[in-house]
Amino acid sequence: MNARRASLVTGVLCVLAAGAWLALRDRGHSEIESDRLLLLVPDDASFTDPRVTVWLDAASEEGLHVVPMHDSRYLRPISDERKCAGLILPDAVHVQASDLFISTIRDYVANGGHLMLVYDAATKSLQDFYSSDRARTSDLAGVDYAFYKSLGSAMIEPGDASGAIRVMDELGIPPGKYFPFSDSASSQGGETQAQLRRYKFGDLDYPSFVTSANYSGEVLLRSNGSIAAGLHPFGRGSVLFVNLPVTPLAENTDGLPLHAFLKYFAERVLGLPFLLAVPDGIGGIVLNWHVDSNAAIQSLQEVSAWAMTRQGPYSIDITAGPDDYRIGDHEGFDVPGNPVSQELVRQLVRSGDEVGSHGGWMHDYFSAHVDKDPPEQLEKYLELNKTALEKVTGKPVVEYSAPNGNQPEWVTRWLEAHGFIAYYFTGDSGMGPTQGYRDGQRDGETIWAFPIVHLDRAASFEEMERLSVPLPIVESWLDALTSFTVRRRQVRLAYFHPPGILPYRRIVDRWFEKTAQLRQQGQFRWYTMAQIAKFLNSRKKVMWKLTERDGVASLDASAPTSLFHDTWKFPARKYSKPAVVHGSAEIVQDSDGWIVVAGDGNQLQVEARVPGK
């Protein structure tokens, strides 16, 4: 090779090397989304697997960014691939793991990373064996568990889930879903203890691994003396160990544990900003009235004089046909044929309430047959109910309540196909509005379930009366539920039947005096299912990201039409007061954070300093 050619080759190599260095430099300084949580899944798992999407959907509903990543990609020695706020090692889909993978995760946490380790994740080798008499991740969890060799199948046992009321609140679990819900009860270790409860049945059994006695962290929940959940320091990092099968639970109408711990990890452990699920960040309650039959006529007339009718709006769902138990019994509310019923419906519309369908045409008949008869024989009753109400109200019926809570999947599919966007739901109890899962499949795309809240085993007033719940307990629960929605800036659905509320007038009047004050202060709202469902469908189209550079966090958001009413929360312990760089927003201080309420416009950028960076 002559000197000129050698010089040319050397020059080309230098240019290529310089280009490669610049690319690496730019990649090292590129704006990686600083709030993303990596959901690690095995290489043979599809990102469309319901055991994966249930996490992604939960993150979207909680206003968080969870990104799925295959193990092999995470194991690559490329810094940008691993940049994240925290790691999630989920149960059910990630039972198997190699020693190299666990070692890499261990190094990540020891060097200051944060991990959410869930139930049976990584408890088996790649050959599908339990490799020792304790999980290889026991040191990460902070407690020994998965004692297969010594206990066999008895290493997992069912039990309740109990913890301090303070922890229940931090997990975002509403009062009544845990019981007792007040500090007046006896306490252990200086803090009042409560159990998670189940609507109607009370006792709630969740499977969990038997754990050893010693735990080197903060216990969040216990089950049968074992650690059901805890937060454990490891090296310079931390591990949130959740010893409950949250993925299968969420796939089968119990999404509260997954949502609660995911939000706790993001908000309490990592201090991440998140997109709130209520307009303007103002929490509230959907008060869902169920009008079953003509037995509601007199009570609706009586309630119309109560103070509660001067607030609202409410979701009022009606069974519209002339019959109730059987065809021809004339026990129905009879919207088409009864002028009194028609006028009551018109009054509700004039008051601004949302009138929806309560089942199909005959309350008790429809409830008894909806999950037994062929759907094609019952669809006509749903159509009759919808049409009758629309004729009187003059507006589309878009929300629904199932009689006696009986709603098989085919009904949800019919509702969504016919323009409904919301329905009351007895599954996923205690949660806010959700597009949940049943039998491992997501239940709808544009329609939202509104799970009920309950007080121990009772949800409606007549159930509380039947179970002899003391009146002071009922009143305290209503106050606690309202405070929960205000403080957490969330929405929950409570329901009742007009005849069942009559014995509780004094309690209800006092409750509405308090909600009136909160409304005047701009801290609380009454919502309808339709209002929230429309907002959430719009919220799903919001695109936003959070990046950090040189100690400054930047939130960039956009929407196809407008961001108006969309709201973010920045935890004050991690961020200074945000400032608007582009677009319009109102920024107010919360008790523990900054609330950024977007104004009109389809683009927004705000910045906040991250002290210490």
Collect the ranges in the chain with pLDDT lower than 70: 1-32, 79, 183-190
541-609 has which CATH code? 2.60.40
For the chain, the domains span 37-161+204-275, 288-454+491-497+526-536, 541-609
Q: What is the pLDDT of residue 31?
A: 59
Q: What is the pLDDT of residue 20?
A: 33
Domain 37-161+204-275 has CATH 3.30.1330.50: no
Torsion sign over Cα 455, 459, 460, 463? negative
Question: Which own/partner contact pairs does 232-235 have at CB distance under 8 Å and 24+ positions apart?
Answer: 232/140, 232/141, 232/142, 232/143, 234/109, 234/110, 234/115, 234/139, 234/140, 234/142, 235/109, 235/110, 235/111, 235/112
CATH topology of domain 288-454+491-497+526-536: TIM Barrel (3.20.20)
Q: HSE-up of 510 (CA within 13 Å, CB side)?
A: 11
From CA 370, how far away is CA 403, in angstroms rounded?
10
pLDDT per position as a tens digit, 224-281: 999 999 999 999 999 999 999 999 999 999 999 999 999 999 999 999 999 999 999 9
Q: What is the pLDDT of residue 147?
A: 95
Dihedral, CA of residue 106, residue 110, residue 112 and residue 117, to nearest 10: 40
- Burial class (CB within 10 angstroms; exposed 0-12, middle 13-18, buried 19+) of 517: exposed
The secondary element (H helix, E strand) that includes residue 542 is none
- Burial class (CB within 10 angstroms; exposed 0-12, middle 13-18, buried 19+) of 130: middle
CB burial of 243-262 (b: ≥16 within 10 Å; e: otherwise) equals bbbbbbbbbebbbbbbbbbb
37-161+204-275 shares its CATH topology with 288-454+491-497+526-536: no
* Selection from 60, 56, 67, 118 nearest residue 433 by Cα: 60
Region class of 425: left (phi > 0), else alpha (psi between -120 and 50), else beta: beta
Q: What is the pLDDT of residue 402?
A: 98
pLDDT per position as a tens digit, 362-400: 999 999 999 999 999 999 999 999 999 999 999 999 999
Q: What is the pLDDT of residue 32?
A: 65
Q: What is the pLDDT of residue 22?
A: 28
pLDDT per position as a tens digit, 314-340: 999 999 999 999 999 999 999 999 999
